[in-house]
Amino acid sequence: MNPMSRSADSRADTWILTAQCPSRLGTVDVVTRFLKEQRCYITEQQSFDDRHAERFCIRTEFRPLDADFDAEAFQASFASRAEAFEMTFELTAPGTRLPVVIMVSKADHCLNDLLYRYRTGQLPIEIRAVVSNHPDLQPLADWHGLPYYHFPITPETKAEQEAQVWRVVEETGAELVILARYMQVLSSEMCERLAGRAINIHHSLLPGFKGAKPYHQAFEKGVKLVGATAHYINDDLDEGPIITQGVEPVGHADDPEDLVAKGRDIECLTLARAVGYHVARRVFLHGRRTVVFSR
């Protein structure tokens, strides 16, 4: 089971505590002991110690047993315990829906999939706006009652266009930006502003095919797998910290259009899974690497 498939009711009273700190003795104990003292029942817990980075991370879902649970008092008390471990932490309330902005170009498959999962409650997000460098997908956003911003871009207007995008992100209070097949390279400045809170999806083919019609290139080479990678953006094109990857087998009977169709399916699933992990606080960033507590 993945975090997208859990109903909202199953999380109705479940809080999430995530934390990370330098590797040292007692890191699990400081979390579990505190939760016991606060009369909080642990329903799920995962932890990992990265020996290479000497960093520890932990994710705990819990249910308070007392009806008068005070989140502010909980955080204040835990902060004093965490300080001794140089531990940073975040407490996420039940039913939290992460505000997001989705960026698209002309391809509609990833946007349509995200909108469906949003509409049916499979993804605990709140879509505040859809931003595009083309007008093509406005009817889809309009049908869902979502604001649609069309900001055309040329090499000469790139800085101005990104300033418009950033204004939307700030004004909507978006905590996550999803690049759902947005076919523009973000500037270094924009990548820095969105570090750790922008997820991109791209095809993953071996050998690597760049440029126009990658699936047609793959067909000519007789590939046996098509795939997709969802990652956080950074200043290296399509080389940011990876969250999820997916693959789908193809065969000699598949023509280029079959590869395109299968590629679209795996892109949708891989992106949705990455977004689900991010909003469920299952992803920890360690430089160019990630720790992902999947289910």
**Of 275, 295, 277, 244, whose CA–CA distance to 44 is shortest?**
295
Separation of alpha carbons 159 and 150, rounded Å? 15
Largest separation between any pair of C-alpha atoms in the chain: 64
CA distances to 24, 248, 250 from 55, in Å: 9, 34, 39
Measured between alpha carbons, how far apart are the two ends of the chain, in Å?
A: 6
48-69 residues labelled b (16+ CB within 10 A) or e (exposed): bebeeeebbbbbbbbebeeeeb
Catalytic: which of 136, 238, 258, 265? 238
- φ and ψ of 76, to 5 deg: -65, -40
Residue pair 63/13 in contact by the 8 Å Cβ criterion = yes
Please count the CA atoms within 13 angstroms of the CA of 48 that sit on its side-chain side.
Answer: 15
**Residue 66 annotated in active site:** no
Token pair of 201, please?
């999806």
How many angstroms from the chain centroid is the CA of residue 252? 34
**Of 130, 92, 70, 65, whose CA–CA distance to 3 is shortest?**
92
Q: Is 196 left (phi over 0), alpha (psi -120 to 50) or beta?
A: left
- φ and ψ of 205, to 5 deg: -125, 140
Residue pair 65/41 in contact by the 8 Å Cβ criterion = yes
List the catalytic residues. 238
